[in-house]
Each structure stands twice: as C-alpha cells, then as structure tokens.
Amino acid sequence: MAQFTLTLTFLSIFMAPIFMSAFVISQPPLNAAEQEYVYKVLESINSDISWRALFPDDLCSTAPHGVICDYFTDDTAAASDPGTPHVTELSFGYVSDYSPNPPCSSNSTLDPSVLAPLSHLKKLFFYKCFTETKTPFPDFSPLSSQTNYSPLEELVFIENPALIGSLDGKISNLTSLRRLVLTGCGVSGGVSNGLGELVNLEQLTLSRNKFNGEISMTIFQNMKKLKVLDLSENGFQGNIPESIGNSTELLKIDLSFNAFSGRIPEVLKGLTSLEFLDLSYNSFRNYGVPLLLGEMPSLREVYLSGNFLGGRIPEIWGNLKGIRGIGLSGVGLVGNIPKSMGVHLRNLCYLGLDNNRLEGVVPEEFGDLEFMSELNLANNSLSGRLPFSAGFLSILGGKLKLEGNLDICIDEGLKSAKVSSSLGELKVCRLTEISSTALFYENSGPRPHASLAFITIGLFVFLNFSKFYSEVEWRNW
Ligand SMILES: *[C@@H]1O[C@H](CO)[C@@H](O)[C@H](O)[C@H]1NC(C)=O
Ligand SMILES: *[C@@H]1O[C@H](CO)[C@@H](O)[C@H](O)[C@H]1NC(C)=O
Ligand SMILES: *[C@@H]1O[C@H](CO)[C@@H](O)[C@H](O)[C@H]1NC(C)=O
Ligand SMILES: *[C@@H]1O[C@H](CO)[C@@H](O)[C@H](O)[C@H]1NC(C)=O
Ligand SMILES: *[C@@H]1O[C@H](CO)[C@@H](O)[C@H](O)[C@H]1NC(C)=O
C-alpha cells in the first residue's frame, strides 16, 4: 500500500507539469542562475531524487509540483511582452494527491543563502520535512542582505518536529511577510526579538512549539493588519500584551494551553471584528468572567475553560446573539445559570459549563435553543427538573452531559422513552421537584414523613402527577 501511494506521488509530481507545459511553451525560459539555485534547493530537500535528470528543461515550463513561476514585466514593457519568469513559490513535503509536492527525505536541509538569489520568491512551504535530523531554525536574514528587502510573503512550516532552536532575529528582516505559520515544530525561546518588525503580518501562527517566556509588551503595536493570532500549546507566560489592542483587524485569537496570567485585558473590546477568542487552559485568575465580552457583538466563539476565573455567570448576553460556542468549563463558577443565556443566545451550538459549582435549575429557555448540539453541564450542583423535550434530547444524544449533578431529575415520560443513554442515571422527578411551591410526591416508593406536615397545612393532592402534567400546565392550574 505504501509502495502504491509512493508510486502515485511520483506519478503526480512528474506528470502534472507535462500537461501544463503545453500552455506556456511560448514563454521565455528561467535564467540559468535561478534554475541552478532551484536544483540546489531541491537537492537539499531530497537528494535521493535525481532532479536534474528528471527535469532537465526550463523549470518554469516543466517543474515538479510545488515549484511555481510567475512572469514579471517592468512598467515600460509593451503589452505583448510576455515578461521574464521567476520562481515565486516553493512547496516541499507530500501533502496529498492534490498537492503532491516533492517528498522530503529524513535528512532534508535548508540553507537560506541558496534561497537568497531567488529574487522573486514569495512563498516557502514545508510539510513534514524536518522530522528526524535535528535542524536549527534557519536564519533568513540573507534573503534581504543584498537589497535590504525580501519579497517573501509566506513562510510556512507544518509538522516539522526536528526543527529546533530559537527565532531570535532570524526572520525579523522579512518585512514583507503576510503569513508566518510555524505549527507542530520544535522551535523554542521567546518571540520578543524582532517579530514586532513584521508590520505586514496578517497571520501569526506559532502553535504547538516550545516557545516560552513573556511576550514583549509592544509586539503588536505596529501589526495593524493582523487577522489571525494563534500561539496555542506553547509555554508562554505573563500578561497578554496590551498592544494587542492595536491589531484592530483581528478575527481570531487563540492563546489556549499556555501559562498566560493576570487579567484578561480590557483592550480586547476594541477588537470589533473579533469572532474567535480562545484563552482556555492558562492561568488567568479570580477576576470573574470578563464583562468586556458583552461589548464584543461580533464574537462567535469564546473559550475560557481551565482558568480559575471564579464568580457568578454575569448577565452580559444581550448583545451576543451571534455566539455559537461558549466554553466555561472548570472556571470556578458559582450561583445559578442565568435565564438570559437561554433568552439571548439563540444561535448557541456548544455550551460547556461543566466542572463548576453551579446550582439551581437548568433554565427552561435552554430547551428552545434550536441549534444546540452539545451541552455539558456535568459535575455541578444543579437540581430540579430537566426542561427538555424528547425531540431536543434525541438531537443532543450523548452530547448532553449531566453526570455528577446529584439532584437533576427527568420526567417519567423521558425516562421510559430512553431518548439518551446519558439520562439513564437520572432519577424520575418527584412531584415536589416540579415546582418549589407545589407540594407533591409520587405514589411509588416510601412516602416521606414530611408529607404529614403538608397534609396538616391543608393541601391534599394525591395524583400520579408527573405522568399527566408538565410543569407549565401545573403552574396554570
Ligand atoms: C541523505 O541521505 C541519503 C540516503 O538516504 C544520502 O544518500 C545522502 O547523501 C544524505 N544527504 C546528506 C546531505 O546527508
Ligand atoms: C536584519 O535584522 C537584524 C536583526 O534584527 C538587524 O540587525 C539588521 O540590521 C537587519 N538587516 C537588514 C538588511 O535589514
Ligand atoms: C497603539 O500604537 C500607538 C502608536 O502607534 C501607541 O501610542 C498606542 O499606545 C498603542 N496602543 C496600544 C493599546 O498599545
Ligand atoms: C466529572 O468528574 C469526574 C470525577 O472527577 C470525572 O471523571 C469526569 O470526567 C467528569 N465529567 C466531565 C464530563 O467532565
Ligand atoms: C403512575 O405512573 C407509573 C409510571 O408511569 C405507572 O406505572 C402507574 O400505573 C401510575 N399510577 C397511576 C395511579 O396512574
């Protein structure tokens, strides 16, 4: 099977350009020096393949998949001038049959001084290229050493665990960078040095590395175009830099699984486009659920789980109608679940309030949240009747988690319908649980002695009530 896949990979690497070449036949060729440097890069990535023998011709006409050229004319050129070809993109590491880039060998290397002569290179992409032989993160400053300018706009390393060392100053000259993606690699150290120079960044993704330390307070000051910031799963510490308030175009912030601490900064509410905020599993402490969330109407998802925020769930939901996901698991919440969550959050698909100390009932309004697909209320002290219909329960199925709430009960009808296995543990509501003002008990099982007291205050009702009346009907009765 592996053999077969490999064959396919090679076929697609080598066949695709043959079809493409028919369309570019009238174009001038890549200059010899640039062609030579492309061979050198290909050889450093995988020396097992004889690149020069397989692709002896113009690499802008017949190249392996992953080598992309473009044609450049200067302002004075005639409209008929086809322009001069230059290599603009190099992508390495077999991704899929749709992106069958040159496969990397286990001893791939990358020397940016070989890339430097590729004067029009805009994108570099590496997928699973540095996986075994430990390779220090390359110093990209040669790319700008001759002209003081590097055209590189995208630098992407995905799943390269053997790529180690720090970023210190190695990319700060790449001032044209729009995307810096370094995910699933072994890069360590801080990000203070020079990253702030990258004022054209739209995406900064450094997730799943070994970065640590505090982030420079001014790092975002001039990153006004930043849209995506993902620093998740590293060892970053300290406060979120206030300068993040200057990156007003941010759509997504993911700082989850780090050791950020202190207060969640107020400046976040100036990020009026922000749709996704994940600060879960950090060390933000004891300031409660931040009220500023209520002033961020563009939010679609917010995850704060695994920080000890404490306090009650605030009433901040009126402006957050668009929100689809909320994670407040294990954040030390006390008190009731506000009805307002069910009233306003009409688009909610996911809500995690598990592993807190919430008490009281599950608001009736939750049963009307038509898009809800996962609701985790496990391990709280919730009580009373679960206000859900059989239809609602069958949509959620196992995605409704209620374990660890000793006093939640369900209606007799739901128990017998067995709509969800997770309800199996729950007891059937006794009539006293239908409403705190109703004085009832079910007729099966031992009657509580307290019922004698109820009788003496003059209310005598002995019906199999749960079977015939819902809570609403009873209240109207
Ligand atoms: C990489 O490994 C191959 C064998 O898989 C070997 O032929 C080649 O010389 C090695 N290249 C380097 C740069 O060590
Ligand atoms: C490149 O970056 C280094 C370190 O940040 C800096 O000292 C140097 O002046 C820069 N060189 C150019 C050509 O911009
Ligand atoms: C935003 O940048 C300006 C300078 O461009 C600075 O004066 C201001 O303090 C910054 N704001 C934040 C929140 O860092
Ligand atoms: C509830 O708590 C128990 C015991 O700590 C734990 O094993 C279980 O995973 C928790 N359930 C959820 C849904 O978090
Ligand atoms: C009360 O409800 C139980 C369970 O549905 C049923 O088995 C029983 O017959 C009912 N009793 C009366 C008096 O209706």
How far from 475 is each of 314, 360, 438, CA to CA, in Å? 28, 19, 9
Three-state secondary-structure class, residue 393: helix
Work out which ligand 1 atom sits closest to the CA atom of 109: 13
Work out which ligand 3 atom sits closest to the CA atom of 243: 14
- Average pLDDT of span 96-117: 88
Q: Whose CA is nearest to atom 8 of ligand 1?
A: 47
Nearest Cα neighbor of 169 from 190, 139, 189 is 139
Which ligand gives the minimal distance to the CA of 244? 3
Q: Whose CA is nearest to atom 9 of ligand 3?
A: 243
Strands 252-254 and 228-230: parallel
Domain boundaries in the chain?
76-431, 432-477
**Side-chain half-sphere exposure of 299, counting CA atoms within 13 A:** 28
pLDDT of 416: 67
pLDDT of 122: 96
Task: Choose which CATH entry (3.40.920.10, 3.60.110.10, 3.40.718.10, 3.80.10.10) describes domain 76-431.
Answer: 3.80.10.10
Q: Whose CA is nearest to atom 5 of ligand 1?
A: 48
Phi, psi of 278 (to 5 degrees): -125, 110
Q: Which is more confidently placed, 420 or 174?
A: 174
Bin 44: left if φ > 0, else alpha if -120 < ψ < 50, else beta.
alpha
427 lines ligand 5 (CB under 6 A): no
Q: Name residues whose C-beta falls within 8 Å of residue 318's C-beta, 6 or more positions apart in sequence.
A: 294, 340, 344
* Total-model pTM: 0.82
- Average pLDDT of span 460-477: 36
43 lines ligand 1 (CB under 6 A): no
Q: Whose CA is nearest to atom 14 of ligand 1?
A: 107
Which ligand gives the minimal distance to the CA of 48? 1
- Tens of pLDDT, residues 280-311: 999 998 789 999 999 999 999 999 999 999 99
By mean pLDDT, which of 70-84, 270-284, 335-349 is the weakest?
A: 70-84
